[in-house]
Amino acid sequence: MTTLPRFLTLPRGSFFLFGPRGTGKTTWVRSMLPGALVVDLLKSEEYRRLSARPERLAERVRGAPAGSHVVIDEVQRVPELLNVVHSLMQSGRGHRFVLTGSSARKLRRGGVNLLAGRAALHTMHPFMAGELGSRFELGASLRLGTVPTVVDSDDPKSALAAYAALYVEQEVRAEGLARDVGSFSRFLEAVAFSHAATLNVSEVARECETSRSTVAGYLELLEDLLLAFRLPVFTRRAKRRLVSHPRFFYFDCGVFRSLRPAGPLDRPAEMDGAALEGLVAQHLRGWLAYSGSDARLHYWRTRGGAEVDFVLYGTPGLWAFDVMNSARVRPADLRGLAAFGGEYPEARRILLYRGEHRLVRRGVLCLPVGNFLPSLSPEQGLEDAAGL
């Protein structure tokens, strides 16, 4: 896997590091902590030994020098290890633990010891454009996404095609998280049509020919596996009637494209537009995670149809972003941001589009998305990224 520098900085104490499979958690940890004791629960022998007797971990850790780092990869596979880790953290030998995971389901639902707040929570995301540097190319990122295991492959197209089978269905099978893997696979395709759109669970259930409760459970499973997320509606100080359904996104636009069936009736621009919104979404989420900002990401849509793709609200202020897969800015493209500005005049409003020039129209800053994404990094604020 690639050794490109990541925006995530090494925390001082013990911490959890969650992220989907293939996002480079293990590579990053081992590059940052080359001398750490590593316990890899993806190895069958390691998994069998520690799942049978979790206390064996204490024997290994006590044999390591005081104050050293201990890395436990995919800790959710043996949640009982957290009780041992908690005891070791209280032993006074100063060991610092790094606990990686690609699923929060067993940890959250099993009632296991989550270290009583002694370990911070951090997340790893697909590559951001700023991490890729000169390797970032907007068109390629829209087609293939930016998951490190795909980007770093000798054959990224084949690696992306295999991702769903290798990292999604395999995870579901291994953990016994869905009784009917075939039904879950059909759901993965059906819900891909809701990527970057308002999510209606009942409509997805009709498409899958299954119950609404089953689809609701599958959606929760996708989020537990960190493969998807939902954006809530921004309702702060709302004056207009707003929709109630969230928007749905796969965590990576390339994974979305690999899962969404394409046929002769599909318009390329429709998939490109959804992929572009997904790419912007994953960059904003990455920026929020790596910068440590307290801001939250939402979207805004009125019952009358006025919509803003992303609303970021918190210490950085109130920001509204619309994304257009077009090289021209038309008056109709500004309606959502204009309506939002009427409701929230203090908001910074930005339209990201596929053109080449910075423009200001109707009080909206229009930026080339291919310039904005590489400028987005945790070392600088949104103002710097937008050139304000």
In this structure, the answer to whether residues 317 and 337 fall within a common structural domain is yes
Give yes or no: residues 110 and 165 share one domain: no
Do 155 and 278 lie in one domain? The reply is yes
> What digits encode the pLDDT tens for the residues 103-120?
877 676 654 556 656 678
Residue 112 and residue 173 in one domain: no
Handedness of CA 236, 241, 243, 247 (dihedral sign): negative
Is 99 in the same domain as 168? Answer: no
| 113 and 176, same domain (yes or no) | no
9, part of any domain: no
Give yes or no: residues 163 and 67 share one domain.
Answer: no
| Residue pLDDT, tens place only, 143-154 | 999 999 999 999
**Which structure tokens are listed for 348?**
């910074």
* Structure tokens given for 185: 């696979």
User: In this structure, what CATH number is given to the domain that contains residue 44?
Assistant: 3.40.50.300
- Tell me: do 68 and 153 sit in the same domain: no
The answer on pLDDT for 137 being more than 60 is: yes
Q: How many domains does the chain have?
A: 2
The share of the chain scoring above pLDDT 90, in percent, equals 66
Q: Span 334-363, mean pLDDT?
A: 95
Please name every residue paired with 39 in a beta bridge, in sequence order, or none if there are none.
72
- Whether residues 69 and 173 share a domain: the answer is no
Task: Tell me the average pLDDT across 320-333.
Answer: 95
pLDDT per residue as tens digits for the range 15-46:
999 999 899 999 999 999 998 999 999 899 99
More confident residue, 176 or 337: 337
Is 128 domain-assigned? Answer: no
> Which domain covers residue 62, as residue numbers?
15-123
**Which residues have a Cβ under 8 Å from the Cβ of 265 and sit 6 or more positions away?**
none
